[in-house]
Each structure stands twice: as structure tokens, then as C-alpha cells.
Structure 1
Amino acid sequence: MTDLTVETRRIDPVPSLIPYASASRPLLFLRRGDGIAGLGEALRMEFRGPTRVQDAAAAWREVAASARVDDDVRVRGSGLVAFGAFTFDDASARSSVLIVPEVVIGRRDGVGWITRVNGAETAVAASPLGTEYRLSLHPGAQSPDAYRAAVATAVDRILAGDLKKVVLARDLVGHVPEGADLRRVLLELALGYPDTWTFSVDGHLGSSPETLVRVTEGTVTARVLAGSHARGSDAEADAAASLELATSSKDLDEHRFAVESVLAALRPHGPGITANELPFALKLPNLWHLASDVHGRLSDGSGALDLVAALHPTAAVAGTPTAAAMAAIRELEPFDRGRYAGPVGWVDQSGDGKWAISLRSAEVDANGTLTAFAGAGIVAESDPDRELAETKLKFRPIVEAFG
């Protein structure tokens, strides 16, 4: 593996990172305008199978240990970084990737920087967004009727005691025009959902509200989302929707399973890691979510990728017990999720980083085929029609961004 030489220098903060990314294969991870954008590939590593995240963590430690880094800026995201996207399922046909760009442009808290790897001479400039385009998305392998049937089957199995919760997804498909500028979609997502993580890694893009894990100098934080309700049409209806969610036994049970799975995964790495006692209602443009924040100190020196390996898949995207939920997903979903509901984010030389769960997302393959996914947590009280309606709400960010 080639040793990397990395140089980071301060620049004036750019107004927006998105115009600096590639139009066809953008690398991006940002929230509220702050984050990083990458150009080119100085190093690409691919992983598959049940140990893909552990293998990536080990490979990254080797890369980071041998890299020569000259970083005058020293903020989160400066210096050596890799963008990453991992598949949801161990058996996925898709690869999981870590990509070190040739050039990274970053901004955070009023500080701007540029990182060049191996002396890359790639020209760096904001470029105008390409021609506007619109496309329609249509039901894919899991039709609405088939989804209702899958939910009903899952409820029967939960009532029989086979499992407590399972997250079932369905898909929409479309085709992106040749030469389409994917940055247009990222801009729509970033403007429409500023409080989410807008990301794009290796053709996988979206805007996720859920932080899987963030590690900064030995401190770990995460945000767990499970349980949702449509926003109301006016202030009074919106307040009622929030209250209904906060008092829903179905949604509270779904949320509790998700929080417990995160705490169980993290506490071996820091016994003092805790979650807020009660969930709070998180307001997004199209949904209310039940949310809990998890935080604490790590006691074993784990890095972000080590914790990604420990956490994935959480009950928020798979179910509980995990093995039974994964078996049900493989049986009831007639597709490979690919990187949907998998970890997506970045890691730096010290092992710190930010990782979201790939929700409100879509995959664009080399032929321009777009596949979007949305899912809902199924518990004993779930109703097939309501769960289908929930997936329609969760599709909305991607459908509107492309449409």
C-alpha cells in the first residue's frame, strides 16, 4: 500500500462546498453548510463480507500510521481523511468503500482549508451546476401491495414471539439522464433539510437525520431515531401530531428497542455511556421523529470505525433480536439493500470521525439506474396501511430532490 503525503493549508471559507465537488461522482459530507467535499481518488479500498467494517478499521490504521501529514489547520476534517460507505447486509453484492480523495475542500465554524494528497495538482474551483433535469420514480421489486403483505407477515411473527421488531423497506426506481449533475440533487437536499447529514460517496447519496456515531478525542456521541409521525398541516395540527407521537405506545416501544441496542453496543467501550432518560420529538420538514441522544467517554481507545463495527446494524434499521430481524429482512425484502441503512461518513488519521446511517438515500449505478429505499419499524401494533404511508413520507426528500 502506497504511503500517503498529505498537506493541509488554511484558505478563506468557501460560500458553499457543493460546487467544488465532482458533478458525476461527488464526494460530500456536510450539515448546515459545514463539512468536507472531495475530488478524485488518491486511494480506494473495497471490503466485503461479515468483517468488512473491522477489515476497513484495520486497513485504515495501517494507512494512517504510514501517512506523512502536514496540517496547519487542525480542525475536525482537516489533514488525512477518508470518505466511506458500507453495505447494510454482510451478504450484499455491493462493495463497501473507503476513499481518500486527491483534494479535499473543507469549512467549519468560519475556518476554511484545502488538503492535497501526494502533491495532487488537481484544479480546484467552483463550477456552475449542470442543466436542470427531472425524473419520476416508480415502484421497484417491492410493490405497495407486496409491502403491505410483508408487514402483515412480520406482525404475525412478532405476535408469535419469533422477534420483537423488524424494519422492512421497499424500493423506488428511476433512470438519471446521461451527464446529469448530481450536485443539483445534493443542493436540493442540503437546502431543504439543513439539519440532516447530506452525503455522497461512490454513487450513494442522501440526507440522513440519524447520527450513527461521532468520535472526537475520546468522546462519543450518537443520535437514535425510531418512531415517526407526519407533520401537521397547521400549527395546531402539528402540535397534536407531536403529542400523538410522544404518547404512542407503538412508537415508544420501537424507540426503546433502538436505544437499548445502541447502548448495548457502546457500553463495552465506555461503561459511563448514557442516553437521555426520555426521548424528545425532533422536527424535520416532513416528519416528527422520536429521538434520543447518547454520549460518554471511551475507555478503550476505540476509533470511529471500531464503533461503527460494534453498532451496525442497530435496531433502528434492522430490528431486535438482530439475528431474527436480519433473517426476516432477507426473506421479506425481494432486493439487496446495498448501502441503504448502512454506515456512511468519514474518518481521519487519529481514528476520529462522523458516521450517519444512510437513510433518505438512493444509489446511482454506473448505468444511471437510480434505486431509492425507505423503511418502517414493524412491531406488534403495526398496521400495514400506516406503515406504507410512513414509507411514502420517508421517500419524500429523495423524490422531491430528483423530481
Structure 2
Amino acid sequence: MSIIQDIKIGGSFDKALAKAKAEGIPVLYSAVQKVSHVNPLSFYSKGISLYNGERFFWKDKENNTKIAGLGSTYMLRNDSEDSRYTSIENEWKRLISNAVIESDREIGGTGPLLFGGFSFDPSVPRSKEWSDFSHGIFQMPTFMLTVTGQECYLTTNILCTSQDDEGLLNIMEKKQEELLGQKEAGTSNLKLVETTEIAPEEWKEALEEVVSQLKNGDMEKVVLARKMLMSFKDRPLSDNVIQNLWNEQQDSFIFSLEVANSCFLGASPERLVKKAGEDILSTCLAGSIARGGNPEEDYKLGESLLHDDKNLYEHNLVVDMIREVLKQYCSEIDMPDKPELMKVRDIQHLYTPVKGKAYQETSILNVIARLHPTPALGGVPREKAMKTIKHAEKMDRGLYAAPVGWMDSYGNGEFAVAIRSGLIHKDEAYLFSGCGVVADSTAESEYRETQIKFKPMFRALGGNTDGL
């Protein structure tokens, strides 16, 4: 059982309650308590009985920050094609402007926090598997465990209304004690029944048509994705999948967002943007090649990637775009002259980090709105590439290849690009994989690349990757 080390919940609860009654509006009360160490995956699993369909999980690439959220004190949704970023931000600012926050200091990733993301393209008709999601969807949890470095914090969020009284606090304290004290729930096995690649030959034909357009000079790059369907005997639990991803993809962002009967989750190597105070960090990740079977082969493959004109060209398109966007929001920019290699279990990428010092008025959603989609996930030029993707793919990407992450009330946050991901919907799972297409791309080589990129999620869901 976890021991709460400081701040008893409820010290300022009366203040939030009085404010709600006086002003006639809901007022958020958020209490942050330091606790002895709790495994964030265990906390996530403990919440299944009370909050199944209302959980999220996050682990950053460096393993410095892990966040597990249970329940939904407040949910922000937006389906606008044009104003989803500003609408979400304005509603978030309104909510936290009246909040009563009880914490001994500002700790990034604690207190009022939103977790969620945006769809890749809000103009694409929503498919049935994405029916539980919106084009902008963010959850503020009721209970949230944040592990940052060696410290562990529990945040409790209560939305007080004019009809509430102190009995609400007693109910929340009992739930808190139950979550911290109960045993971890057991999880079921992943019982895979069938795997189906969705129209692979049609996808190759569409890719060849795009290559023809690229050769004509209509565009410089287009990213095409496809999907795979996995069917199960029972609905797969996200707990099992996250644990498998944690075991196999330690160097990736691991994320999970449950909404009703669905769960979007994955293990992405790619950071879109991180903001900690005035510090901004983004990642240029484009150009890839397989891992080798031994260190010598792996080294040779990596060196060939570093000197491959097609992949360097693709990578530089991303570098140029991200640098230009960050210049608009940062007083200074720092980045290396040449890419390096980022190696994860199944694949290695060309990688260039971009750092900056943000202007005071810059929010993380400002930057995301301009960055998404980067050339690594959309193409160049952006608008033509997006139209081409919609026509060629004939599918709804949903949150795949889009921003997924968190932001707190202090202005901090971090978003990954949701690649190497999948969607669990009832007793099925949809896996997504994409590749950057340029004028000298070939259908077979790009198809093989997508096969490699399916592997992390396919394996985490209990599939045998020998055939991929």
C-alpha cells in the first residue's frame, strides 16, 4: 500500500466549493500529494474495475516521466476542421483560470493536466472503428499518478458545482484509498484468432500512381499509410499490450488512451514537441532502414542510411520545415548540421534534434498547430500531399500519425507523433504503418518498410512476427 507523504487532500476544498456556489459555475479543485513509489503500470491496472474505458498511460522516451490517469473529471472534445487547437486551448485556459490548486510547488506533469490528442486529418469521414473518438479529444483524470525521476505524486481532481457539499470529498477520499490499497487486477491473455492485411495490392498500385505524380514534379514527398486487422476471441485488454510494449520498446514513447469501447495505444520513437518552461525540443525523424542480424551488419546498414541520397533528401525536408516553424516561436534555435542514427528494436532512423527557447506567450498547442503534420507524416507541399493521401489511402487514420500527449496547467507538456500504433475497438485491433514516398521510391521496397513498422504493435498484441 502506498503511503501519502505530504499534503492531506481537502485543505482548500472548502475554498473551491465556496467559489462554485458564489459564482454559479463549476470550479476545479486539484490536490497534489507526494507518495511513496507506486508502479505506474500497476496503478493503471488497478483502475480497471472502477474506470475501464476512462484510463490513459504515458511513458516518455528517456524513461524520466511516467503518467497514469484514471477516471474522467473533465473531457474536452472538438470536431472542428479549422479551430480545434484554439477551441481546446481556450476551454482549457477557462477551466484552469478558476481552479483551486493545492500543491507545495509547481511540478511538471502534476496537478490539472490534459491527456489526449488530435486526429491526423479532420476532413476525412470518420470510420466506424474511430467512432468513440473526436478530432480533438482530451481527458483530465480524476486520479493521476506521476512518476518523475525518483519522485512519485498523486493528483486528485474534483469538479465542484453549486449543488455539491463536503460529502463529495469523503467519496473521493474513499476511492483514493481503494485505488492505493487494492491488489492489482488480473489480466486476460491475448487470444488472437485471425490477421488480415487490408488490400495490400491495391495499396501498392496507389503508391505507384503517387510516384508518377512525384516524378512529374507535382510534389516532393507524400507519406502513405496502410492498415492491418487483427481479430481476437475476446476484447484485448490494454494492460497486456502496454506491458508488452514496455518490455520490448524501452527507448520509445509508450502511450494508451481508452475511450469507451476503444483504446488507442502504441510505442513511438518520434517526439513532436516537448515544452518545459521556456525550453522547446522537437525531433526530425525521417529516413529508415532495418536493423542488422549482428553488430557488423547493423553498423553497415546504419552507415548506408547515413549516406543514402533518397533518405537524406526525405530527412532534410522535415528538418527545414521544423526549423522554420520553431523560429516563429523561439528566440534562439540550436541544432546539429548532420543527422545521426536513432536505433530502436526493429528499425533505425535518421534523427536530428531541434532545441529552442520559447517566447513567453508561446503555448505547446501553438507549436503543434503549426507543426502537424510534419513532412515525416504528411508530405511536401503539405496541402497537395494531404489531398493525395486522402485520395490514395481511402481510409481514416484517426489519431494515427497525429499528436498524442499531455499538457499541464503550468505550461509544460510533451507530445509524440503517434506512429507504431494501433486501435483496439471491441474484439478487433487495427494496426497502422506508413512510409515516405519520393520520386525514386518503389512499391515493393516501401511495402517491406511498412511490414517492419507493423512489428512492434503486432508483437505486443500477441502476433508472431516471423511472417512479417
Q: Secondary structure at the match of 2:191?
A: coil
Would the aligned equivalents of 1:129 and 1:181 in 2 still touch at CA under 8 Å?
A: no
When the two chains are superposed, the root-mean-square deviation of aligned CA atoms in Å is 1.7
1:101 — aligned with what? 141
Mean alpha-carbon deviation: is it higher for 98-107 or for 114-123?
A: 114-123
Structure 2 residue ranges without an equivalent (≥5): 1-24, 127-132, 159-168, 463-468
Match of residue 172 from structure 1: 228
Between the aligned partners of 2:374 and 2:269, the Cα distance in structure 1 is 15
CA distance in structure 2 between the aligned counterparts of 1:171 and 1:137, rounded to whole angstroms: 14
Aligned: 1:110 with 2:110: no
The 1:111/1:97 distance shift into structure 2, 3 A limit, reads: same
Q: 2:34 aligns with which of 10, 31, 35?
A: 10
CA contact (8 A) 1:71 1:78 kept: no
In the TM superposition, structure 1's runs of 4+ consecutive aligned residues that sit over 4 Å from their partners are none
Deviations, residues 250-302 of structure 1 (Å, cap 9, x unaligned): 11011111111212222111142243211101111111110110101012521
Query: Which secondary structure state, in structure 2, belongs to the residue aligned with residue 380 of structure 1?
Result: coil
2:298 counterpart of 1:238: yes
SS, match of residue 4 in structure 1: strand
Q: Distance in 1 between matches of 2:194 and 2:415?
A: 28
- 2-side partners of 1:206 and 1:85: how far apart? 13
- Could you tell me how far apart the structure 1 residues matched to 2:353 and 2:241 are? 29
Deviation, structure 1 residue 192: 0.7
Residues 240-389 of structure 1 mapped to structure 2, 5 A cutoff? 240-365=300-425, 367-389=426-448
- Is 1:154 matched up with 2:210? yes
Maintained 8 Å contact 1:137/1:399:
no
| Code of the aligned partner of 2:40 | L
Identity of aligned residues (%): 28
Q: Does 1:30 align with 2:59?
A: yes
CA distance in 1, matches of 2:41, 2:306: 36
Shift of 1:54: 2.2
Greater shift in the superposed pair: 87-96 or 245-254: 87-96
Q: Distance in 1 between matches of 2:310 and 2:249?
A: 26
CA change 1:285–1:136 in 2 (3 A) is: farther
Which residue of structure 2 aligns with residue 20 of structure 1?
Answer: 43
Partner-residue secondary structure (3-state), 1:238: helix
Indicate the residue corresponding to 2:188 in structure 1.
131
Q: Is the 8 A contact 2:194 2:232 kept in 1?
A: no
| Deviation, structure 1 residue 74 | 3.1
How far does residue 395 in structure 1 lie from its aligned partner after superposition?
A: 0.5
2:155 match: secondary structure: strand
Local SS of the residue matching 2:414:
strand
Structure 1 pair 198–259 and aligned structure 2 pair: CA distance change class (3 A) = same
Judged with a 3 Å threshold, the aligned counterparts in structure 2 of structure 1 residues 177 and 81 are, in CA distance, closer, same or farther, namely farther
Query: Residues 58 and 176 (structure 1 numbering): CA distance in 2 closer, same or farther, change over 3 Å?
Result: farther
CA deviations over 1:303-360 (Å, ceiling 9, x no partner): 1122111211111100110001001100000211001011000000022101001011
Correspondence for 1:43 among 26, 49, 74: 74
Q: Compute the TM-score of the two structures, normalised by the length of structure 2.
A: 0.82
TM-score, normalization by structure 1:
0.95
Match in the other structure for 1:225: 285
Q: Is the 8 A contact 1:10 1:73 kept in 2?
A: no
Amino acid at match of 1:370: A
Q: Aligned AA for 2:179? A: V
Residue 460 of structure 2 aligns to a residue whose secondary structure is helix
Q: CA contact under 8 A between 2:64 and 2:149: conserved in structure 1?
A: no
- Taking structure 1 as reference, are residues 292 and 137 closer, same or farther at Cα in structure 2, changes over 3 Å only? farther
Whether 1:72 aligns to 2:104 is yes
Q: 1:65 to 1:30 in 2, by over 3 A?
A: same
Which protein has the larger Cα radius of gyration, Structure 1 or Structure 2?
A: 2
**Does the C-alpha gap of structure 1 residues 198 and 73 become closer, same or farther in structure 2, counting only changes over 3 Å?**
farther
For 1:315 and 1:287, the matched residues in 2 are separated by 19
| Aligned amino acid, residue 169 of structure 1 | A
Instruction: State the alpha-carbon separation in 1 of the partners of residues 361 and 186 from structure 2.
Output: 42
Contact 1:7 1:70 in 2 (8 A): yes
Q: What is the rounded CA distance, in whole Å, between the counterparts of 1:179 and 1:116 in structure 2?
A: 30
- Name structure 1 gaps, 5 residues minimum: none
Task: Say which structure, 1 or 2, has more relative contact order (CA 8 Å, 6+ apart).
Answer: 1
After superposition, residues 136-147 of structure 1 pair within 5 angstroms as 138-141=195-198, 143-147=199-203
Residue identity opposite 2:298 in structure 1: D
Give per-residue Cα distances to partners, 1:125-165, cap 9 Å, x unaligned: 45144121232563454x22122112211111111111100
Q: For residues 145 and 70 of structure 1, what CA distance do their matches in structure 2 show?
A: 57
- Alpha-carbon contact 1:303-1:351 (below 8 Å) kept: yes
2:214 partner amino acid: I
Report what 2:245 is aligned to.
189
Contact 1:4 1:63 in 2 (8 A): yes
Superposed displacement of residue 231, structure 1: 0.2
